[in-house]
Amino acid sequence: MNVLLLGVIVILAGLLVSRIRSNARRTSELRQVRGKLEQIKERRSGEKLLHMTRDSELQALMTEINQLLDSHLRASAEHERTRIASRRMLANVSHDLRTPLTVVLGYAETLHLRPPIEEAERNDLLAKLFGKTQEAIRLIDTFFDLAKLESGDVDIPLSRINVSESCRQSILQFHEQIESRGLEVFLDIPPKELYALGNKGALKRIMDNLISNALRYGADGGVIGLTLREEDASVLVEVWDRGKGIEAAHQGLVFERLYTLDDSRNKKVQGSGLGLTIARRLAEAMGGSIELNSKPHERTVFSVRLKKLNLRNS
């Protein structure tokens, strides 16, 4: 009996010693992992936790930690990108608002400080003052429109809309501008009416922005085109030109708020820098998308994709 009891005590003692050693080893490994985490935090690097261990629970823990590190790295990169974009946006807002307001101030000072001037000249100055004031108001309204879209404060009810008719009306609206620039127009709208889930007003604004953009930046190609077609469950609207296009390095940025190419600061082609951003927000609000594909001086195309509906859909 005493021998049996002694044997049990020896076995329990061995298990206890093994447990103590195991705990000590795990504690040591946890210290190493914590130290590595502190290094990664201090360096703010994209490193991962690498530690050889046979402890399955510790392996699972490090896998979860590495996933969190990846998520944190992506969030940090997005935050930095947003910070840089915000600084650029503030600079561009200041520039774009200051330009018409400076002209407004100049006209106002002329009217206020100059000796009496001829009525015809006064009327001309007043007309210019009125035009520049409207320009500033339109720009401010555009900023507010984007802010409301991004905050979700705009109600965009969806229903079945006739995309074919919207395309015809949109291109006709720009007939005079296209003709005055001597541009060739290519229209490819099938005889069959195509319908999609969307909002007529939102689609009109998207089309206005895309056609205006093609006229502003692609007129040097001598042609502007509009293509409408269906693909499986989608209706696809393409607005294209053969102008100078957009280099690959810039294509991922054109939908950012107030992103403009360098020469778009030129008054001959300058826009608000918000049109494409608003177009994308509106397309997404309708459950669709908008994409860009550009080969400079060959074909630059903005594609709007919406969910296709037919006469039986409600």
Mean pLDDT to the nearest integer, 134-150: 75
pLDDT of residue 286: 92
In a domain, 262, yes or no: yes
* Neighbour-count burial for 86-101, b at 16+ CB within 10 Å, e otherwise: eebbeebbeebeebbe
Say which CATH number the domain at 130 has: 1.10.287.130
Domain end marker among 126, 151, 176:
151
**Per-residue model confidence as pLDDT tens digits over 45-96:** 667 666 666 667 666 766 777 777 777 777 777 777 767 766 766 666 676 6
Q: Do 134 and 113 share a structural domain? A: yes
Q: For the chain, what is the radius of gyration of the CA atoms?
A: 32
Q: Do 176 and 227 share a structural domain? A: yes
Q: Do 259 and 220 share a structural domain? A: yes
One-letter amino acid identity for 210?
A: L
In a domain, 296, yes or no: yes
Tell me phi and psi for residue 156, to 5 degrees.
Answer: -120, 85
> Structural domain tally of the chain?
3
d(CA 148, CA 153): 5
In a domain, 47, yes or no: no
The whole-angstrom distance between residue 150's C-alpha and the CA centroid of its chain comes to: 11
Q: If pLDDT is split at 50, 70 and 90, which confidence band does 24 have?
A: low
Nearest to 224 by CA among 181, 183, 188: 183
d(CA 76, CA 69): 10
pLDDT over threshold 50, residue 12: yes
Q: Do 223 and 203 share a structural domain? A: yes
d(CA 85, CA 72): 20
Q: If pLDDT is split at 50, 70 and 90, which confidence band does 154 have?
A: confident
111 is in which domain, residue-wise? 90-151
**Per-residue model confidence as pLDDT tens digits over 186-238:** 999 999 999 999 999 899 999 998 998 899 888 888 999 999 999 889 999 99
Q: If pLDDT is split at 50, 70 and 90, which confidence band does 142 have?
A: confident
In a domain, 75, yes or no: no
In a domain, 80, yes or no: no
SS3 (DSSP) at 297: coil
Residues whose CB is less than 8 angstroms from the CB of residue 248 and which lie 6 or more positions away in sequence, other chains included:
294
CB 189 within 8 A of CB 219: no
Q: Do 142 and 165 share a structural domain? A: no
pLDDT of residue 128: 85
pLDDT over threshold 50, residue 268: no
SS3 (DSSP) at 314: coil
Residues whose CB is less than 8 angstroms from the CB of residue 71 and which lie 6 or more positions away in sequence, other chains included:
none
pLDDT of residue 107: 80
Q: Do 273 and 188 share a structural domain? A: yes
In a domain, 78, yes or no: no
Average pLDDT, the chain: 77
Say which CATH number the domain at 223 has: 3.30.565.10
Q: Do 217 and 164 share a structural domain? A: yes
Q: Do 168 and 123 share a structural domain? A: no
H-state helical runs in the chain = 2-43, 56-113, 119-151, 163-173, 175-180, 200-218, 248-251, 275-285
Place of tokens 């007129």: 219
Query: Which residue pairs, CB below 8 angstroms and at least 24 apart, start in 17-25?
Result: none
* Neighbour-count burial for 203-242, b at 16+ CB within 10 Å, e otherwise: bbbbbebbbebbbebbbebebbbbbbebeeebbbbbbbbb
Q: Do 294 and 239 share a structural domain? A: yes
Q: Do 178 and 284 share a structural domain? A: yes
Domain end marker among 151, 171, 199:
151
pLDDT of residue 267: 41
pLDDT of residue 213: 87
